[in-house]
Amino acid sequence: MTTHQKPAKEKFIETALRMFADKGFYGVSLADLASELGLTKQAIIYHFKTKDALYAEVLSGLSARYDAVIDNVLAADCGADEKWQLLLQEMFNHMELAPEDARLIMRELLDNSERAQDSHRWYLRRFLNECVGLIAQTKTWAERSLDEQTAAVYQAIGAINYLAISGPTLEAIWDKDRVAGMNAVFLQTLS
Amino acid sequence: MTTHQKPAKEKFIETALRMFADKGFYGVSLADLASELGLTKQAIIYHFKTKDALYAEVLSGLSARYDAVIDNVLAADCGADEKWQLLLQEMFNHMELAPEDARLIMRELLDNSERAQDSHRWYLRRFLNECVGLIAQTKTWAERSLDEQTAAVYQAIGAINYLAISGPTLEAIWDKDRVAGMNAVFLQTLS
DNA sequence: TACTAAACTTACCGATCGGTAAGTTTAGTA
DNA sequence: TACTAAACTTACCGATCGGTAAGTTTAGTA
């Protein structure tokens, strides 16, 4: 029934996200994914119809998580400048907890410049627009152009993403306290 | 003869690098590449034997360019601190002129954590070791551990790469002077 | 002109790709 | 117990994958 279907599909999407993040869209076959799930690839087709549709659902879930982050921030009881700082902090925390999200976003950024008219990308666009809407209200950026505001958002997200991707490597060679200390410096630099 | 073979192979490698950087290793088939070159895929096989070997030569050429950069820097007539600054500047310049190099390196960084025992990665390792050797002589990093020095190098390269990837997007929405101004700030922040 | 090696093309090959269609099992319902 | 819908598996399919083998063209040499 419906109550059983959703957790199963979520397991599919979770695994797919991790594998796409690790090896890229073309690096993962439906057979690979099914094998990881202990099923046949037709089980995936049954739930998602096509590989592209599965990928779309993966990206949709990812954007939903970011929409939740920005909704939380916008609902906070403080001014735009504090909200922008809070957003950077929240995104940073999210990336640390879910580095596979960061990896997939980085792959999307890499793929963006080539297949620019694809349907995939629009999933993150709404989130980006909300971010630009917020930064436009801060003291620093209020009088700058829309393009400048967009670039600032793009840069901030990119910087956070890159550090998140580096995270596992850095934690392997540093201790956690040191990484935490660097994080504080990092967020100061960003703002 | 040999005098004709090399330019032809270089054209193959140039095109392959650009396509791999744009779409990733699995996103480019030999047929795609051959079509771009106006040849059949067997012409590629003739020159490189396998797709993996072609990719290896692409990475080898890329690392040769970075080896040249660091060799130039090491030969400069100044102290280690100035050399480290010079290296960052040179890498930054290189990335601006050849953003496809930056894109391919970013893909390699993304792929690294998964297929960590691959032969591909060792191409950049020599360059990284030279960088660590240099940073170990600077005042700031001389008394830190090898792991910390490695992390610092890794971070600096990553930051430069990310900005290079963003470059085309940023130049499209900002004017060149503004990007140049940001570059100066960027290098200050990095050091 | 005869010859040779380099640089290809044509013709295939088995393996794997994403996907279709038709069955089968599982779990809940009346 | 009979039935039903969900969640699969088995059996295929044409297209494309990377790669092999055998020819053909091109360009330089003696």
Per-residue pLDDT reduced to its tens digit, B70-98: 999 999 999 999 999 999 999 989 988 99
pLDDT-derived band of residue B186, with 50, 70 and 90 as boundaries?
A: confident
d(CA A120, C1' D4) / Å: 37
A82 at the B interface (CB within 8 A)? Answer: no
The pTM (predicted TM-score) of the whole model is 0.87
Residues of chain B above pLDDT 70, percent: 89
At B163-174, the pLDDT tens digits run 888 877 777 777
User: Does residue B48 surpass a pLDDT of 90?
Assistant: yes
A2 at the B interface (CB within 8 A)? Answer: no
At A137-176, the pLDDT tens digits run 999 999 998 888 888 888 888 888 888 888 767 777 777 8
Amino acid A191: pLDDT: 63
Contacts of B111 in chain A (CB under 8 A): 23-24
Report chain C positions within 7 A of protein CB atoms. 6-11, 16-22, 28-29
A22 at the B interface (CB within 8 A)? Answer: yes
d(CA A7, C1' C29) / Å: 22
Compute and round to an integer the Cα radius of gyration of chain B.
18
Range with the lowest mean pLDDT among B12-16, B36-40, B153-157?
Answer: B153-157
User: Does residue A104 surpass a pLDDT of 80?
Assistant: yes
